Amino acid sequence: MNEDIQKNIKDEVLKKIESGQVGMRSKTYFLIKLALLSVVVVLITLISVFLLSFIIFGMSLDGSLFLVRFGGAGWYHFIFALPWYLLAIDVLLLILLDWILKSFRFGYKSPVVLLFIGTFLTITIASTLINLTPFHQNIMRKVNEKKIPLFPNIYSGVKSEIQKPGTYKGFVGEMNGNRFEFTFSRGITPETEVVQVVALEGINVDDYLDSGDLVFVAGSIKDGEITAYGIKKLR
């Protein structure tokens, strides 16, 4: 029975080949196709890793990455601080990568969801590891010094002095209970402002801060006072 089925399939395939419905391809053709697909996969992976690591680098530089440590309010503002257009590009690259990987045997046999999760985790881990190195710092310095010709200056808007709305970097002054004097500047201007930061009730800031510390503060400012829902000591 099985032999008859296989014979019928073979006959059908041969008929289609003879009629021109199915073209014959040489082994070289498939090897070239495999090589090209592999190159494309590597390029897409590298671009995706670079893009995600750049996002992490930028958010760690302006301090918005610290927002995830400040509970529900921090996560809320973190979501709005995300560069969604860059993330959308990265997601599209991941989808394209998974679509190409489905051409390979291991990808063809893998469920789409698992394949996406696998590539996402791989790229996320690689991007995180890159940010443990001075890679982006070095590239940013060389780009700003125009030592890398024809490379777009994507780092022009990435500066530690530029904070997202509702976040501030500055220095601790005199402390009193859950309040302390805070000196900071808005944007990259040299002018500084001095305000009072009010931490959450019951928190004595002098237990973990010292005068002169550089801190990251998340909160709302009004009438010369920042009501903070999160404070992170930087140095």
**Euclidean distance between CA atoms 21 and 68, whole angstroms:** 58
Whether the per-residue pLDDT at 183 is higher than 60: the answer is: yes
Q: Which of 102, 103, 104, 125 is nearest to 115 (CA)?
A: 102
Question: What is the SS3 assignment for 223?
Answer: coil
> pLDDT tens for residues 199-222?
877 778 878 888 889 888 888 888
Query: CATH 2.40.50 in the chain, residues?
Result: 167-233
**163: number of CA atoms within 13 Å, CB side?**
19
Q: Which of 101, 126, 106 is nearest to 116 (CA)?
A: 101
Which percentage of the chain shows pLDDT scores above 90? 16
- 84 burial (CB, 10 Å; 0-12 / 13-18 / 19+) is exposed
Class of domain 167-233: mainly beta
DSSP readout, 37-82?
A: HHHHHHHHHHHHHHHHHHHHHHHHHHSGGGGGGSHHHHHHHHHHHS
Given CA atoms 225, 231, 232, 235 in this order, what sign does their dihedral have?
A: positive
> pLDDT tens for residues 13-68?
556 555 555 555 667 766 777 788 788 888 999 999 999 999 999 888 878 888 88
Pair of tokens at residue 110: 């893998």
What pTM was estimated for this model as a whole? 0.74
